[in-house]
Amino acid sequence: MAGFPSVGGWINAERVSGGRVYLHCTGGVYRSPTFAMAYLMVIGEPRDRAIQIVKAAHPLSWSSGDEDTLNRALMLWEEKLRLGPESLRPV
């Protein structure tokens, strides 16, 4: 979750400048889809909808392993977003 603000800022900067973004991690199943979900939440998608969008686009997302930990990270992120910009600053 600590990387969500910096990656989200990078994604947004690329989108604003007309660029494209390719997210990938070693397996492309856990971290990169979770960052995509977190970004969708930043631009206004509810957590459940963000998960649905990414899983529809990339069916292997969260396909095995510790889905509970990833979902908890998104729930914490959702709470930080709800608290506003001050909560997103690094500690």
Choose between 19 and 2: higher pLDDT.
Answer: 19
Helix 31-42 to helix 47-57 angle (10° resolution) is: 130
Confidence class of residue 91 from pLDDT cuts 50, 70 and 90?
Answer: very low
Tell me what pLDDT residue 89 has.
53
Number of domains in the chain: 1
The sign of the torsion formed by the CA atoms of 43, 46, 51, 55 equals: negative
Which domain covers residue 69, as residue numbers? 4-15+23-82
Q: What is the pTM of this model?
A: 0.82
Q: Is residue 87 part of a domain?
A: no
DSSP reduced 3-state for 57: helix
**pLDDT at residue 52, as a whole number:** 95
Integer Cα distance of 7 and 23 in angstroms: 10
Model confidence at 24: pLDDT above 90: no
